[in-house]
Each structure stands twice: as C-alpha cells, then as structure tokens.
Chains A and B, each alone.
Chain A
Amino acid sequence: MGTIRELYTQVIMDHCQRPRNKGELGNADLKEHLLNPLCGDEVTVYAVFDGGKVADARFEGRGCSISQASASMMTERLAGKSREEAKKEIDDFKAMMVGEREFPETEDLAALQGVIRYPSRIKCAVLAWTAFGNGLDGGDGS
C-alpha cells in the first residue's frame, strides 16, 4: 500500500494548517534553533519551565507539512512534562520514527506513522524534537 493519503492524513493536515502553540516565546528558558540542511527548513523551539515542568512550549519556523505538524504535536505532548519526562518523550518519538517503537494508537502522533515509509521525510518529522532535545541538553532549564 503506502498511498499518499496515508501520509497526508486529516490529523497531519489539521496540525499543519492550524498549528498549536506556534509563535515566539519571550523570556523562554529554553530556546533552540535548528536547520534541516536537506531542504533549508528551519525551526526554533521555546519553552518556559515552572516548578521543573514545561509550562509552555512553542515553536516558530517554516517548513513542509510534516515538519510543521510534528512540531505542533510535540508542543502539545511536552506540556506539563519534567525535563526527564520530556527527554524520554523525545527519545521515544525518535525510536518510533525509525521503527524501533510502536506508535500510540489513539493519539495524534499515530498520524506520523506513515512518514516511516518515506525515509527522506523522517528528518522533517524529527526536526523540532531534535531541536528541543538539544535545548534540554544545552540549556540550564528552569
């Protein structure tokens, strides 16, 4: 199978065209910029921590539908997570994108499952997540 409709699902297109948490975040504790050298797309992720947990996560940038939808989903998933939990979410997601872990069946993230079939697009899907992971590694957080 693997038709294009399995890649561009309603969920992905919804996140892409109505992204959640898109926009710059002033006074962010975490701010990380990353470029996808493949296509020149770029993303900046922001987070504010409160009590050791992500109080607000946002992203800004331009990119294809996969990268935009994935970034949008990420901001939703990381909200309320501690740094360790966020790190685990990111690692888990990357494992899903290389087929080493099952996608959660009932959540938006499952819509990204179809991307695995298109290896050149996996980089698009993990761009924002990698940026956030880099921010967690480099920044001093809350």
Chain B
Amino acid sequence: MYVALNPKRVKIGGGEEAGDRSAVYDAVMIRADFPILARRIGGKRLVYLDNAATSQKPRQVLDALGEYYEEHNANIHRGVHRLAEEATAAYEGARQKVARFLGASDATGLVFTRGTTESINLVAHAWGRKSLGEGDEIVLTEAEHHSNLVPWQLAAQATGAKLRFIPIREDGTLDMEEAGRLIGPRTKLVAAIHASNVLGTINPVEKLTLMAHEAGALMLVDGAQSAPHMPVDVAELGCDFFACSGHKMLGPTGVGVLWGRPEILEEMEPFLGGGEMIREVHLEHSTWNELPHKFEAGTMNIAQAVGLGAAVDYLDELGMENVREHERRLGAYAYRRLLEIEGITLYGPAEDRTGLVSFTLPDVHPHDISQLLDEEGVAVRSGHHCCQPLMRRLGVAATSRASFYLYNTEDEVDALVEALVRAREFFGAFA
C-alpha cells in the first residue's frame, strides 16, 4: 500500500559513498524524500533545525495521506461497505505498526490521541481523578515540559494530591539520590520526560520505573522527544504509560499515542464520552467499549493515524538504532562546533546527549538570534520551550535551541555556526 524506502539507502557501518562524513546511512539521499527540505528561504537554502518542535514529513507519509483520502476515505468501525472496511483496516493496521514500533506485545493498550499533551491529560483525568486523593503524591522532575506538568497541577487541585519534583543537577541530569528520597509510600505516580526537549538529557526512566514500582506507584514516560529519535521498547522500560506525538516523528499533526498497560487502562474511567467508546447506551447510563476503543470517542483523526503508520514504516526501514547513532554523532558534532564560539553557554550534559543543543550568547537575546538566523535560512527555536520552571532553574528567560533529525547533516551544523558568528558580529557592530 505504501511506497517502501529503498533499503540500499541504509548502509549500516558504511560511509564511503556517503555525502555525510560519518554516516550510518546516506543522509543526503534521505533528504530527497522530504520535499520541503528543497525550499529556499529568501534565496537561501532552508536549514531546518527545529525538529524538536515538529519534524518534516517524507513523501511516503504525504503519499499515504493522499492515497487514504483519494481511495479509501470513510468512517471507521461501523460501516459495512467496502470503503469503511478499507479505512478500518488502514487505521487498525497503523495501530498495529505503532504498537510494534514501541515494543508493545499487542495493540490492546495502544490508544490514538491528538498528541502527547492529550495522552497525558487522558491519564491525568481517567486515572488521576479516580486514583488520587488527599495525602497522595505525584513525583515529577524539574525539567518537565508544560504538557507533563500542568495536567498534574490540575489533577492535584481536583483531588488534593501533592506534587513533588526531582531536582536536576548542574549538568542537567536528574538527582537520582533525591529521587530515591522523594519516591516513597505516598507516591502514586512518577511521571518523567524521557529525553529533555531543552537539555538533550536522556533520563534513566528504567531506574525511575523500578523505584516507582517498588513504592507501589505507577510510572508514566513522556516520550515526545525519545520515540522519534531512539529505539523505544515499553516492555523493556517497564513503564505503565508511554506518551508520544506523531508529528515529531515524521507523521502528520493531529495524531499521537498513549500506550498503557491494558490491565490498568481496563480499570480506568473513560476520558471523553461519545460515539465509538461505548458498548451499550441507555438514556440514563452506558457501558464502555473494549480497549483501546474505550478511549477513542468520536471520529478519530483517521488519515493522520494512517500517516503515522507510514511514518513508522519509514523509521523501521531506516532502523531506530541508525537514527539514534546518526543524531548522536550530529549532536556531538554540533556541541563541539558551538563551543568554538566565544562566550557561548551550552545547556545540559556534555555527554550522552540527544541530537539537540540549547545555547545562549552573551549580549544577544535568543529572539534576536532566531531572527538573524532566519535571515540566512536557518530555522531554530528561541524561547522557553514550554519549560518555564526549567528556565527559572537555569536562570535564563529563554534559550535558543538547534534540534536535529535523521535528515540533518554536518554541513547544516556548519551553516548554523557560521550564521551565529555573523549574528554576533552584527550585534557587536552596534555596541
């Protein structure tokens, strides 16, 4: 049904023919799959380094969306006609693919949502409102994205539960000793970001899971920045919930994932009520559909889920180990090159990073950096990255962030560094 990636592009351990010096695969060839990467911005080639915000989409995903709408579009699950059968098969097929991609033993616990934010809100409502109460504690980290903080603030307000925070150390890693003190008999849930969208830290969520389970608590992993960039296996992680967003992993906007342990999802109340999530409806009461449909009320983003299936095919073809290795090298290269800029501050640990780097330059506000880089076709993000408490912890209002993905190259890192040097010169000229 979908155009497969040419497997010849994946050259594990190779690199002689590669346009990229340290390639695990030929990133230059990969780029040909992404139409938008050929765009020019004010005459300059686009250097897209805002992948932590959203990734670009390969032709294979765009084609899957087009094919779905042109040939199979119908509402799913209830129609007894050819198109409804095809649309249902495509949607459920995507569920199977994504479940396999995340290491789930089957797709029963794989719920499609609008994205990570909705996935976490689902848990905060459907599990949190029923299971939390006065005296209970939810343990988060200081480095959470607002999407894994605000839903818990709301749940705490509604139930009387308290929030506790695992501090981060100076190098941006979690203070696991303090985590050991914080996670205890009152803890009902530990929820942590797997890979930080600001620091590039990869948090030891397996260890946190063990600590949570030892205390009789559940573990939620915010995988928005891990699932797109490294192999994820929910069975190995051992967590109870895992959330991620399709649009950050080559998929369309509007679709994301909550994976939950089926036995826990089974006990939870529904999140949204409406069509499809029911089994039997009476005027005064209803019973719920089986998993995962119990959590998929109303018409879902069907085409987008199918598109996410195609995205997962693409990632599988490339191999997540390869993607991780490509980005690890690129992130390390960027970290090293950026350090050459005088006076620059880089945030997060020096080692074991994901493929993103947050930085500030003295005397140039991050917002102005973004503007000057944009002038050169280089797209980075500047701001608080939806992590205001973390920004306060770091003692800055904002940082700039360059975030890489599987199609970025060392040439683009060089373009970033050169543009930054020119930005500093530009501002220096006024001083």
Report yes or no: A39 in contact with B426, Cβ–Cβ below 8 A: no
Q: Restricting to B355-401, which residues have a CB under 8 Å from any CB of A?
A: 365-368, 371-372, 375, 382-384, 388, 391, 397-398
User: Taking the nearest CB of chain B, how far is it from the CB of A3, in angstroms?
Assistant: 7
**Any chain B CB within 8 A of the CB of A25?**
no
Which of A3, A13, A42, A124 meets B367, CB within 8 Å?
A: A124
Q: A89 interface residue, CB < 8 Å from B?
A: no
Q: Which one, B368, B372, B375, B384, contacts A40 given CB within 8 A?
A: B384
Chain A residue total in the interface (Cβ 8 A):
22
**Is A103 at the interface (CB under 8 A from chain B)?**
no
Residues from 100 to 127 in A contacting B, C-beta threshold 8 Å = 118, 121, 124
A17: which of B375, B391, B431 is its contact (CB, 8 Å)? B431
Point out the residues of chain B lying under 8 angstroms from A7, CB to CB: 371
Asked if B391 and A40 make an inter-chain contact with CB atoms under 8 angstroms apart, the answer reads yes
Instruction: List, in ascending order, chain A residues with CB within 8 A of B384's CB.
Output: 39-40
A127, chain B: closest CB distance, angstroms: 11
CA A64 to CA B371, docked complex, whole Å: 10
Sorting the interface of chain B by its residue count into under 10, 10 to 19, 20 to 34 or 35 or more gives: 10 to 19
Asked whether A14 lies within 8 Å of B365 as measured between CB atoms, the reply is: no
Say yes or no: A118 contacts B430, CB within 8 Å: no
Contact flag A40-B398 (CB < 8 Å), given A4-B371, A65-B368: yes
Residue from the list A4, A38, A62, A66 in contact with B375, Cβ < 8 A: A4
Extra inter-chain contacts (10) besides given A14-B430, A64-B368, CB under 8 Å: A3-B375, A4-B371, A16-B430, A17-B430, A40-B384, A40-B397, A41-B397, A63-B365, A65-B368, A66-B368
* Selected A-B contacts with CB under 8 Å, 29 pairs: A3-B375, A4-B371, A4-B372, A4-B375, A4-B426, A7-B371, A8-B368, A13-B427, A14-B430, A17-B431, A39-B367, A39-B382, A39-B383, A39-B384, A40-B388, A40-B391, A40-B397, A40-B398, A41-B397, A41-B398, A42-B397, A63-B365, A64-B367, A64-B368, A65-B427, A66-B367, A121-B367, A121-B371, A124-B367
